[in-house]
Chains A and B, each alone.
Chain A
Amino acid sequence: MTYTKPIFLVLFLPLVVIAYNLIPQKHRWKVLLLASYAFFWSISGKLLVYLLVTTGLMYVCGLWLNKKQNERNEELKNAEKAQKKIIKQKYVKKQRVILVINSLILLGMIVVLKYSKFLGTNINSLFQIMNLPIQMPIPSFIMPIGISFYTLQAISYIIDVYKEKIKADRNIGRLALFISFFPQIMEGPICRYEETANSLYEGKKTTYKGLTFGIQRILFGLMKKIIIVDRINPLILEIFNNYSNYDGGIMAVGMILYTLQLYMDFSGVMDIVIGIGEIFGVKMPENFRQPFFSKTIAEFWTRWHITLGAWFRDYIYYPVCLTDKCKKLTSWGRKKIGNYYGPLLASSIALFCVWICNGLWHGSAWSYIFFGMYHFVLILLGRIIEPLVKKINNKLHIDNKNFLYIIMQMVRTTILVFIGELFFRAKGLKAGIDMFTNMVSNFSLEQITNGTVLKLGVDIHDFIIIAITVLVIFVISVLKERGISIRESISKKNVVLRWSLYYMLIIAIIVFGSYGLGIVPLDPMYANF
């Protein structure tokens, strides 16, 4: 069961919405929790135990931290000024122990389940290179669905309790629902406790506006998924599986269409997830903000998978920057190389940690590490050359707010993103390098102009319908970028226009959707990470 399957949309979701609204408000959270566990069970079965262990650990460690904080506060009340610092330090150490225990168990689970095969294979390769006659047995585990997402939520909760941004929750039901809420468990968004826990637990009745807005958003997501993602899938499979049969032009087509597919798939699922949240009166954080309008790679990552980027920023980037060693490095750097490049030394270390983690978070393979390092280098280079670019622009009297200049920056950023996604999708790092080399050294439009591209599972009609849908989404993105809320604007129009638009959307999905006999829909792509 996934969010785009009929069993979920036609049966599971309506039943949960009906049950949720029929039950008294104080028990509604139980419906959501039960539905969430049923959803998890339907995909991962007994692996639900990992989710339960994570929930239990959050609960226990949260209360443990809270207890220590209360004890500290009690001691501080009666302490003299000179002692206060010592007491605080004593309790910081105690809390750190709890934080480390919690993080080791949570990260230990994900490392064993997700990375042991990768680590084992690489250690064995190392033994081989060193001519050592040792081979480690390589374990292989089945991962529970969404472990990469809910583990980050669990860690953020405990760190926020540790930092006293939030109070530890004494209600294990609320905590369990926050970590397992079924629309977000597969692909996020990675929510913070203060964003969703209370509204989930509150059990607000579904309103007419929430229902209609939610359904609209779900339909918009389905349009992306069914019309674009599933329709271009045969072409992408063919190009990435048999890349040696094609010239550089086809490689470029595959690279562009894969990026389009990934964006439409992930953002489409997010539309469905956020739409479901709206039906239950829960405002979930947005995960995309027109990423292809980014002027730099750094900006791109503040618009693409926003909640993951924000998590890395808050729980890796800033903590690394604020370590004593990094602070010292910054002070030293300021003196030696100035106020711009000085802080860049420490921030580049933090940035490196973020991008290693980002790469590994996406998967346990060298291609993902390369993907992370690729973006690290691009962002770092961007920061290093920024003053130089400003100087050149000033000299050449180039206005960086000029429309054409901005378009050029967007195109450049998009091309860099395309290249990164090529390596991301390729079957291993070697295949990625081969495809990229083929694209550059063997670039030709022959297989595009002679019609080969139309014989790879996507015909001219498919391309036309994909292009029209992309155009519609582009126009909507432009309006959103200008701060116009499309759904609010539509809701103010007269009923004929409003309903006509809804009918057009529904009919477009039914007529132009890629479903039915012989079509295998693609499972949500980010659910595998």
Chain B
Amino acid sequence: MKKNIIKFIIFVLILIFILMILSYIFVPKNNSKEFGMEEDQAKGIFGEKDNSIDVIMYGDSETIASTMPMKLWEDYGFTMHVCGEAGQTLPDTCRMVYDTMKKQHPKLVILESNNIYNSVNVTVPIARVINIMFPITEYHNRWKNLKLEDFYSKIEYNTTDINKGYYYVGRTDPVEDNAYMEKTEEIEKIPFLNKLYIKFLKYYSEKKGAQFVIVSVPSKKNWNYAKHNGVKEFADKEGIEFLDLNELKDELNIDWKTETGDKGDHVNYKGAVKVTNYLGKWLNDKNILENHKNDPNYEKWNKDLEEFKKNVKY
């Protein structure tokens, strides 16, 4: 019995060693798509200067389609990066927060609310831990594109994203009417595990010196008043600020006939301009963010803005 246990431990240790070597080979050596990085727009933050980002926004595809950090830079000189990813679950958010805060110490961490109702099973966090321990499990599909350099190059994350994580949606695919968010007393319960993830995000953000807030960006398809009530109830209980842009129909005035690219699922760039304008005022009113526009350390942001405006017209 004892002999078998020792054999088993040796077997596992050798396996771990092999996986570590393979992980070194398979992990992208740069944070750009060309080097095999998944969700490279969000990961553009890894190429930004240390401690240069004041606001980071996390969440799923709602996040990336609705907020234009470069417009905030243009209007207020705030440095924001969207670190949302399509289908980002709360365990993914936790991992992203952990990774991004290694080099950044933002003043504000924003969680977009849509993934709060995305129920995840218990194996997702286990899978994420395994991904962190053995990146081969995350980047294994790179076997198709491995180059000789992957076997000896050092990891160097120096690529930035000129959109700062924003994903441009140019098309229009309308919804027939603008009606949604009918008021109700109904409360949609947040899954138990998801509550724990949000509590962790708040704890970790505050530990790193950032204020943690929840923002819900407009989505006619995905959001309703019962969800609003659920997040509001939880946020009030936990002392988290909650801003629901879906509730502010008159102030934002999103026209779902012209300002969505996919029948009310996400806003298109026209809707994103309205969302960003509102967020800009809201952030400015907080009086916690600096205007870096004339800071020579942020010169690259002005160049990025010029490039951004060539691609995104508003």
Contacts and interface: CB of A to CB of B under 8 A. Distances in A.
Contact of B140 (A10, A502, A503, A516): A516
Contacts of B126: 6, 10-11
A511 B22 contact: yes
Contacts of A502: 11
B122 interface: yes
Contacts of A511: 22, 26, 136, 140, 143
Contacts of B127: 6
Interface in B32-65: 38-39
Interface string A477-503: 000000000000000000000010011
Contacts of B136: 510-511
B18 A507 contact: yes
Contacts of A248: none
Contacts of A517: 38-39, 138
B122 A11 contact: yes
Contacts of A7: 121-123
B144 A461 contact: yes
Given A11-B122, A11-B123, A512 B19 contact: no
B291 interface: no
A109 interface: no
Interface string B73-91: 0000000000000000000
B143 A510 contact: no
A6 B128 CA distance: 12
A512 B38 contact: no
Contacts, number: 47
B14 interface: yes
A208 interface: yes
Q: By CB atoms of chain A within 10 A, which of B1, B22, B141, B144 has the most?
A: B141
Interface string A494-529: 000001001100110011110111000000000000
B124 to A, nearest CB: 9
B4 interface: yes
A500 to B, nearest CB: 10
Q: By CB atoms of chain B within 10 A, which of A11, A502, A511, A512 has the most?
A: A511
Nearest to B126: A10
A7 B123 CA distance: 5
A5 interface: yes
Given A11-B123, A507-B18, A511-B136, A499 B143 contact: no
Contacts of A459: 144
Contacts of A506: 15
B258 interface: no
B100 interface: no
A208 B18 contact: no
B140 A513 contact: yes
B224 interface: no
B22 A507 contact: yes
A contact face: mostly helix, strand, loop, or mixed:
helix
B137 interface: yes
A6 B123 contact: yes
A503 B14 CA distance: 9
B140 A510 contact: yes
Nearest to B127: A6
B202 to A, nearest CB: 27
A476 B262 CA distance: 50
A interface, size bucket? 20 to 34
Contacts of A461: 143-144
A510 B122 contact: no
Interface string A57-100: 00000000000000000000000000000000000000000000
A100 B45 CA distance: 71
Nearest to A1: B121
A510 B123 contact: no
Nearest to B141: A516
Interface string A1-43: 0000111001100000000000000000000000000000000
A6 B130 CA distance: 12
Contacts of A503: 14-15, 18
B123 A512 contact: no
Q: By CB atoms of chain B within 10 A, which of A5, A507, A510 has the most?
A: A510
B15 to A, nearest CB: 7
Interface in A441-464: 459, 461
B135 to A, nearest CB: 11
A115 B9 CA distance: 52
A499 B11 contact: yes
A161 B215 CA distance: 65
B58 to A, nearest CB: 17
Nearest to A512: B143
Contacts of A515: 140
A502 B15 CA distance: 10
Contacts of B123: 5-7, 10-11
Interface in B97-143: 121-123, 126-127, 136-138, 140-141, 143
A284 to B, nearest CB: 24
Contacts of B39: 517
Nearest to A208: B4
Nearest to B136: A510
A89 to B, nearest CB: 58
A459 B145 CA distance: 12
Contacts of B121: 7
Given A7-B121, A503-B14, A517-B38, A510 B144 contact: no
A196 B72 CA distance: 68
A516 B130 CA distance: 12
B270 to A, nearest CB: 28
Contacts of A507: 18, 22
A499 B14 contact: yes
Q: By CB atoms of chain A within 10 A, which of B4, B18, B123, B126 has the most?
A: B123
A5 B138 CA distance: 16
Contacts of A499: 11, 14
Contacts of B141: 516
Given A7-B123, A511-B143, 9 more contacts: A6-B126, A10-B123, A208-B1, A461-B144, A499-B11, A503-B15, A511-B26, A511-B140, A512-B143
6 contacts: A7-B122, A10-B123, A11-B122, A499-B11, A507-B18, A513-B140
